């Protein structure tokens, strides 16, 4: 779960959520918005990406209102803000406006560190949202989810859920919520087995998601688990193909709101948001290389090769490397 500083008032003038775990970042935003709307149901929420926060925009959004309305201004990927906009934000940190809560989502790395340091120096409330890359961290997350919902689950059940769902925190949280809603009493390993054993489709897409995000080790871990639990190799190549094609389709599409792009590309809006996050390191050449790798793997698992598992591992490594091609250019 996300860790917070001693200043735990979600209506603090400035909150900075630091890390790269999307679920925890979204929860940090929702917590602030919920608190603001509890204080004023008419709270105005502005959710902005770096390209939408130009020099002067923050001043406009935080200027005194005739109606003194409460406002929440969310800035995603704050580490990617332009130098001029960073100056605006730093100036604002020194004198935040009343009835306005600024939420900065920052990846926490070296990029944009000056802004993060300035926010901390100004006394911003901080929520830590680190990537949970270790199995032990994900297991602790699942246990915490059950506790937060007021339910008990055995250690074996928590481990079985992690084994069945994989490393995606959104899916883990959703699975916990589903079990809590459907099952009375203590949740044990047998209950988890009835609900989630054999989630072939979900595990296939976990492999694809990790691969197109450039997370080689996690993609290979998910691949080996999927194969070990009986997932058909052809399902994995299909998921890999869909993941790479989604990157290609969105990267060549016109810019716009998720809802508009969803209609244009035939994807649900939530998937547009996810693919936008995944496509950061991709180039057109990288997409072409990845598609060739998928085609070769598909041929390999359909009888064109001696070792389907090796064909899949090779494709995953090539795709993950292609996902980081922009950084190597």
What does the alpha-carbon distance between residue 275 and residue 173 come to, in Å, rounded to a whole number?
Answer: 20
Tell me the chain's radius of gyration from C-alpha atoms: 22
Strands 100-106, 3-4: pairing kind? unpaired
Long-range pairs for 63-69: beta carbons < 8 A, 24 or more residues apart: 63/97, 64/97, 68/99, 69/40, 69/42, 69/43, 69/44, 69/99
DSSP bridge pairs for 100 = 71
3-state secondary structure of 186: coil
**What does the block give as tokens for 76?**
């995603």
List the chain pLDDT tens, one digit each, 329 residues.
455 544 689 999 999 999 999 899 999 999 999 999 999 999 999 999 999 999 999 999 988 765 667 899 999 999 999 999 999 999 999 999 988 999 999 999 899 999 999 999 999 999 999 988 888 898 999 999 999 999 999 998 898 888 777 778 888 998 899 899 888 999 998 888 777 765 545 568 788 889 999 999 989 988 888 887 777 788 889 889 988 998 988 887 756 666 667 667 776 666 777 788 888 889 999 999 999 999 999 998 887 667 889 999 999 999 999 988 765 54
Indicate whether this model's pTM tops 0.75. no
**Residue-by-residue DSSP string for 250-311:** HHTSPP--HHHHHHHHT--HHHHHHHHHHTTT--HHHHHHHHHHHHHHHHIIIIISS-HHHH
The H-assigned helical ranges of 54-112 are 57-61, 83-94
């Amino acid at each position: 779960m996300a860790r917070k500083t001693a200043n735990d008032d979600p209506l603090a003038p400035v909150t900075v959520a630091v890390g790269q775990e999307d679920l925890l970042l979204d929860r940090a935003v929702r917590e602030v918005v919920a608190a603001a709307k509890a204080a004023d149901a008419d709270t105005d929420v502005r959710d902005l990406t770096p390209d939408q926060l130009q020099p002067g925009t923050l001043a406009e959004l935080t200027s005194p209102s005739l109606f003194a309305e409460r406002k929440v201004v969310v800035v995603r990927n704050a580490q990617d803000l332009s130098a001029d906009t960073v100056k605006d934000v730093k100036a604002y940190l020194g004198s935040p406006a009343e009835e306005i809560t600024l939420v900065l989502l920052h990846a926490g790395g070296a990029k944009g560190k000056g802004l993060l340091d300035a926010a901390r120096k100004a006394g911003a409330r901080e929520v830590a949202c680190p990537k949970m890359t270790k199995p032990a961290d994900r297991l602790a997350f699942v246990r915490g989810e059950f506790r937060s919902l007021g339910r008990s689950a055995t250690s074996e059940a928590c481990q079985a859920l992690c084994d069945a769902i994989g490393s995606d925190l959104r899916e883990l949280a959703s699975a916990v919520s589903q079990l809590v809603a459907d099952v009375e009493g203590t949740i044990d390993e047998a209950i988890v087995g009835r609900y989630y054993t054999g989630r072939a489709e979900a595990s296939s897409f976990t492999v694809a998601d990790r691969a197109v995000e450039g997370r080689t080790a996690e993609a290979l871990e998910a691949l080996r688990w999927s194969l070990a639990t009986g997932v058909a190799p052809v399902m994995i190549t299909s998921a890999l193909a869909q993941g790479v094609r989604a990157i290609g389709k969105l990267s060549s599409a016109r810019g716009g709101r998720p809802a508009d792009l969803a209609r244009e590309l035939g994807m649900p809006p939530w998937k547009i948001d996810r693919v936008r996050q995944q496509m950061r390191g991709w180039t057109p050449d990288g997409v072409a290389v990845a598609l060739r790798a998928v085609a070769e793997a598909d041929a390999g698992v359909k009888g064109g090769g001696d070792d389907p598992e090796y064909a899949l591992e090779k494709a995953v490594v090539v795709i993950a490397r292609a996902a980081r091609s922009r950084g190597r250019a």
